[in-house]
Amino acid sequence: MTTTTTTAGGVKVIKPTVASYIHDYWGRVRGGDLGALPAILGLIVLSLIFGIARDTFFSGLNFANLFNQSAQVVFIAMGLIFVLLLGEIDLSAGFASGVCGAVVAILLTNHGWEWYTAIPAALVTGVVIGFILGLLVAKLGIPSFVVTLAAFLAFQGVLLVLLGGGTNISTRNEFFNSLNNNNLSVAWSWIFAVVAVVGYAAAQFNVMRNRTRRGLVTDPMGIVLMRIGGLAVLILVATAVLTQERAINPAINSLKGVPIVVPIIGFFLVLWTFVLGRTAYGRHVYAVGGNTEAARRAGIPVDRIRISVFVIGSFMAAIGGIMAVSRASSVDPNTGGSNILLYSVGAAVIGGTSLFGGKGKIINAVIGGAVIAVIDNGMTLMGFNSGTKFIVTGLILLVAASVDALARRRAAATGNR
């Protein structure tokens, strides 16, 4: 059931009821448009399992650690989403983050640079890496799998060369090391929480107003208020937990407040969500990922779009590398290696981004990164070894990819693709 209203300008606007909205949403789900729903349900189930198995899982200290531990994976996954939206892949993102992390550590420690010059230098390194990869893929036509696999191998060597054959370089810059270790004050934590809720509410109402002005269908007010209320409860409860004392010995070192890395993640979540959802560039990315030839015939500069997504991917990998070095207060030959790339790709796919291109949102990286972090953290608390954790994570990634493939098949069969 829907209702029709007329604006002051004489524009008729169709407003669905809450019941019709839910019915339409369920129809999209049955048609294969699952989005991040499986990942959200999986995150809830996994959290309950680990919380029941280990009381410490839901402690404030462990909750805060989840953000710091997953930061590198989440940032790299954000960049990979742009690449995956085009149906491409970047296998070099992990070690690219390591190279950029090495650059910032070397400049800070060996050359005495300040953080405000060393960090931009590392980010520029990431942009240059992405530009070269994008050129090779877009202009020479080399498959991204081959280009980034070669870069994956090469960047391991570059990292070893930068570190003088395998030395560990420590960072002693207090501000830099605080980025992925320290917390906001209690007051600033609550300010951040309130700003986040108010900002989200303003964005939701702004979308409704713009769609109404154009005579487009808007979501029911009840649904919008439920979204705002749900996010408000989530953010305020999380802030309440994180602003409690969580240090074992507060007299020596007090631990209160939201981790500094959280607003940084929030900033890039809002930025890239806006870019993909509210700009012509974002529409072009989805168009190229959905049908490259059709996008080319529509006048979209396909090659430039291809280059740009690799630039964004490596730029975000650089931020991931910076956060990894900040977290460890050092860089070594394994920074960005090991399972970082696999976890980052897994985070994007588990969160709901399609490996086939054309479907995905930045929030998928955050949700998928949370799933990966919960699995790794929860199984560690339960005493499982690394082999078991890899097996479980691999199975969950396989399930996520299978769900995506089946959803696309169902969507094609029902004509919703």
- Among residues 98, 115, 111, 109, which one has the least CA distance to residue 161? 98
Per-residue pLDDT of the chain (417 residues; tens, 9 = 90+): 455 555 545 555 556 677 766 666 666 665 556 667 778 888 888 899 988 988 888 888 888 999 999 999 999 999 999 999 999 999 999 999 999 999 999 999 999 899 999 999 999 999 999 999 999 999 999 999 999 999 999 999 999 999 887 788 999 899 999 999 999 999 999 999 999 999 999 999 988 888 888 877 777 888 889 989 999 999 999 999 999 988 777 777 788 999 999 999 999 999 999 999 889 999 999 999 988 999 999 999 999 999 999 999 999 999 999 999 999 999 998 888 878 888 899 899 888 888 888 888 999 999 999 999 998 888 888 888 878 878 887 887 787 777 767 766 766 666 555
CA distance 314 to 261: 19
pLDDT score for 282: 94
CA distance 275 to 87: 19
pLDDT score for 8: 46
Give me the residues paired with residue 259 across strands. 183
Q: How many CA atoms lie within 13 A of 111 on its CB side?
A: 12
pTM, full prediction:
0.90
Helix (H) or strand (E) holding 119: helix 115-138
Contact assessment for residue 39 and residue 352, using Cβ atoms and an 8 Å cutoff: yes
Contact assessment for residue 239 and residue 266, using Cβ atoms and an 8 Å cutoff: no
Give me the residues paired with residue 15 across strands. 3
Contact assessment for residue 349 and residue 81, using Cβ atoms and an 8 Å cutoff: no
